[in-house]
Structure 1
């Protein structure tokens, strides 16, 4: 029986199915280090990892037994797919199944930041709320405003649809290639044009070398002083220090973040900002979505074990 390593607990029905098909080991502990990842590649036939497990180029050294990595997550920037391919290791991911959940969390952050819900919730819990105040915690209107989407893939389009049809927002977007969208939206020539024109900017682009620090000091400087910035993509897409500087200086009105540059570390300067809503990477965190992600990752591994090409193979 083929040996399968699963690096985090997954939904019980999926885990039961995996155990019926493979000799399963469930990793005990937190994110796998490079050393642990290298040892796993030498020990197991297949691995089901997730974000944070360090399957970078340095892990693909020495004798490698593993021939299949079925990643739990649409993002796979923690896996060096080129190094994997050179070592004869197929890599797959889990697109589509988390689109709606991630789009929903983008709207959660947009509304919470615009209406200062985080500040209000902290005020109530601390006992500082003194009752209705005509001028208390005034936020900004959402309906009818302009949305800028950076990265108009599946998730970007799902966000655009929610904002346009649900809140009557005009949608502008930046994408690395020309894109035809189902929702009414206008593609602008440059990133800075979108940042400058939008009231709300939501980043939904993939991670990886091509988008690292895409949102830098200059991009943030292009935003309106009343603008609100949301990131639900990958932490490294944003220059976190530049964002903190912009928020501290009042250069933009606020930010909502679900991802961070060095997760799980969140800078104290960011934590100290009232004009920032911070979530602990909840983009795909519904029971239904996480089970579907686990199932898709396992289905790819089963396809490989059966001699088929994994349906979501990325390399």
Structure 2
């Protein structure tokens, strides 16, 4: 996290309630290989494979990158950015399936929390095949929003396998697993302030004045030598004061949030069925308003039955205030 996050930066814009913003994952840097690190037999297998293939597979990871986000008391929603077998270390990663983590056009909470998880996936038999086929996740809503997978009739086997993997991700080898909470509040109160700009989440805590800078290519450098910083792994997020400009994104995000709530991942203490009922009430009211508009446009061409229906709809207390 950048030093000085408890105050607004000169080049940043404060995000306020009812504001619009989106968060993207921009870069991930991994400086450590976990392949075979804790398994002597696996380590020996990697050495043999390195000799046969002519490359050092001990300096790779079967890499999975996931972002979670939570606003207020809503449930955590996970977003898959990357899954790649035998990815070399010390490379800057940016070729994600999707960079977008979340987007809000009318933010109504006091804070948003980001959860970055970068893991090396153990070479279990049950995950080998779909890791190899991970390219099929690109553009797949069931893959990039894993919680949706069970509800998609034509969901791919890769997406289904990935959903199971993410639910047990902590059983694999951790590279980065950190939270970043950004809050709408006053400056210098000890909170990290929700504002536009770039945010760096390091694998471990660093001194506040660590002598590091972010270069125009989104890499962390030592301020004095301008040499790349490779002492630990890190992820970089960008917050923009605009919406995502992806037509279906906000709907997919809300669907994923609702399904996460139904799975009991919320923190509000309300029963999941309450959130489903609230959602369906809003949907029903919208459909009624749409029907009123359709009937009003017909004017004198309405049938007696349609006139009676229009009268009933106009008298409905749940939508009368919107007419």
TM-score normalized by structure 2? 0.24
Q: Which has the higher strand share?
A: 2
So what's the TM-score if we normalise by structure 1?
A: 0.24
Structure with max Cα Rg = 2
